[in-house]
Amino acid sequence: MPEKTPAPVRKAVIPVAGLGTRFLPATKATPKEMLPVVDKPAIQYVVEEAVAAGLSDVLMVTGRNKRPLEDHFDRVDGLESALKDKGDDAKLAAVQYASDLADIHYVRQGDPLGLGHAVLKGHQHVGHEPFAVLLGDDLIDESNPVLPRMIEVQERTGGCVVALMEVPHDTINLYGCAAVEQTGEDGVVRITGLVEKPDPADAPSNLAIIGRYVLAPEIFDVLRSTPPGRGNEIQLTDALETLAADPQSAGVYGVVLEGDRYDTGDKISYLKAVVQLAGRREDLAEELHTWLREYVAALDAPQVGGDAAR
């Protein structure tokens, strides 16, 4: 890999303008990013992940009806004084934690022209620096994060870096898909081609892009000249494909995710994410697992009439 003078990655861009139609009617008046995963909105996990990787300057690219996101990361005087009066220090700390977490900025996407367009909206805030992009539907297990390694690879190569995960072949049409070659470094591959949501028959691999990117600022120029692609949207995957195919660029790399990833993007995956993340919580795990065992045993038991599992 070519060595470059490292410019530190300091900023994270989080696109949150999506309509969340898969969760209607829950998302009619509530942004999908605010749906609770156990007792925190999904977006808070993502901001916590960025901050844990040293990126406390966060830009959210928002759209209509996203005010609750701004409110969540803002102070709420009335609530804080009520909790103080009640002496509920734990809840007070949880409420203040969300508002002190990061230095969060907001920009509106305007027209919903795709992920590439949303990232381009971050140009003015990001400037000519490498930066991370985190998509809210993917939650990454905090005990095994992928961003620090991605940042390290970006700073070393000066290129763009995506997180990759092997998925079942018949689901690759839900993701950006990467053709790769080995670099000799464990867990890091060089990307030779990318295609957004390919038909499984045409997919170059089973390696899916999951929603974490660390991008060189050159991506902005490429995005500006990237025509609408799949779904008539400006695709970040297409801009990365342009860089991967350009021998003059610093290249596109993939870091293969080792830890768990939870998908909150569709209903079944969301339910699994809630159960799995609750199962990792000290205050909930024991009771939840006991109930889950009983529930599954009742599901497996021969039915004698009525609901076996309630």
Query: In Å, how far are 8, 18, 100, 165, 272 from 112, measured between CA atoms?
Result: 30, 8, 30, 27, 29
Count residues contacting ligand G1P (CB under 6 A)? 14
d(C-alpha 137, C-alpha 125), whole Å: 23
Between residues 196 and 218, which has the closer beta carbon with respect to ligand G1P?
A: 196
Stretch that binds ligand G1P, among 38-46, 61-69, 134-142, 295-303 (CB under 6 A): 134-142
In angstroms, give the least distance from the CB of 230 to ligand G1P: 8
Q: According to CB under 6 A, which residues from 139 to 178 bind ligand G1P? A: 175-176
Q: By CB under 6 A, tell whether 130 contacts ligand G1P.
A: no
Q: By CB under 6 A, tell whether 135 contacts ligand G1P.
A: yes
Between residues 81 and 144, which has the closer beta carbon with respect to ligand G1P?
A: 144
Stretch that binds ligand G1P, among 77-85, 94-102, 132-140, 178-186 (CB under 6 A): 132-140
Between residues 22 and 156, which has the closer beta carbon with respect to ligand G1P?
A: 22
Here the tokens at position 126 are 């990001």
Between residues 155 and 260, which has the closer beta carbon with respect to ligand G1P?
A: 260
d(C-alpha 10, C-alpha 195), whole Å: 28
Q: By CB under 6 A, tell whether 209 contacts ligand G1P.
A: yes
Q: By CB under 6 A, tell whether 45 contacts ligand G1P.
A: no
Q: By CB under 6 A, tell whether 243 contacts ligand G1P.
A: no
Q: By CB under 6 A, tell whether 237 contacts ligand G1P.
A: yes
Q: According to CB under 6 A, which residues from 71 to 100 bind ligand G1P? A: none
Between residues 163 and 216, which has the closer beta carbon with respect to ligand G1P?
A: 163
Q: By CB under 6 A, tell whether 138 contacts ligand G1P.
A: yes
Q: Is 144 left (phi over 0), alpha (psi -120 to 50) or beta?
A: beta
Here the tokens at position 216 are 């060189």
Q: Give the HSE-up count for residue 152: Cα atoms under 13 Å, Cβ half-sphere.
A: 10
In angstroms, give the least distance from the CB of 209 to ligand G1P: 4
Between residues 98 and 211, which has the closer beta carbon with respect to ligand G1P?
A: 211
Stretch that binds ligand G1P, among 28-36, 130-138, 219-227, 247-255 (CB under 6 A): 130-138
Q: Which residues bind ligand G1P (CB under 6 A)?
A: 115, 135, 137-138, 175-176, 196, 208-211, 235, 237, 265
